[in-house]
A = this chain, B = another copy of it.
Amino acid sequence: MTATQDAQQADIPTICRACEARRGGLCGVLKARQLAELAGASSRHEVPAGMELSDDGTYSNLLSGVIKLTRNLPGGRQQIVGFHFAPDFLGRPFEAKRPIKAEALTNVELCSFPGTTIDRMINEAPELARQLLRHALNELDDARDWMAALGRKTASEKVASFLLMVAGNIDPAHHPASSMSFDLPLTRADIADFLGLTIETVSREFSRLRSDGAIQIANKRHISLASLAQLKERCGD
């Protein structure tokens, strides 16, 4: 660690020192003084798996866990329109046109601030506004990527793309060449609602990937990506 990093580290609020949110989340762009102000208004809490996150005006860093964003259509139809993996940032300035629900897929730890604090800090810290914009544009890129998948990919390409996406978010630092394994934070029904398929089709594609040696499945939820190369060939882009 360099001397300047040491000096900066000294000013950082205690609870923020080891916080993941300073890596992938919002706090990384803040100066020590701003971080202290935000930390003073922050509160940590947990949300159990399956619980819906209320859409009050608060903003949160997602410290651990996975969250799904869903949009509902008549006839019981549902579409998952996005995920949040730790360490990510949640919260919306301005109101959305459409109702989108957020639900914890796993147990979730949040570090939350009142919306008014963020709104005020935007005016004082251009870097914060920049970061919020960058974050929104990343989400936009993701959404458009999945638009292409939903509209133009086959069922098996969708499933392969999905596995690669989850793998990349659960372990962003993973070495791309080697194999890896993880627990899926989603049920087959969730996967189906994300990919625009049925649970049966998802299950069949999992079985096919397994019998082809691309993946291994243990206990229904634990996935080992045996051949990343094979998955990338099948993902359709």
Contact = CB atoms under 8 A, between A and B. Distances in A.
Interface stretch (A17-25, A36-44, A91-99, A177-185): A91-99
A52 to B, nearest CB: 17
Interface stretch (A59-67, A106-114, A131-139, A207-215): A131-139
Contact of A74 (B98, B137, B150, B237): B237
Contacts of A150: 147, 150-151, 196
Q: Which of A74, A145, A151 has the most CB of B within 10 A?
A: A151
A196 B152 contact: yes
Contacts of A145: 71, 97-98
Nearest to A138: B97
A139 to B, nearest CB: 6
B134 A93 contact: yes
B140 A100 contact: no
A236 to B, nearest CB: 6
Contact of A81 (B81, B100, B147, B193): B147
B134 A94 contact: yes
Main SS of the interface on chain A? Answer: helix
Given A141-B97, A143-B140, A143-B143, A79 B148 contact: yes
Interface residues of A, number: 46
Interface in A112-169: 122-123, 126, 129-130, 132-134, 136-141, 143-148, 150-153
Contact of A147 (B77, B138, B143): B143
Contact of A133 (B136, B143, B237): B136
A1 interface: no
Contacts of A153: 73
Contact of A73 (B98, B126, B137, B148): B148
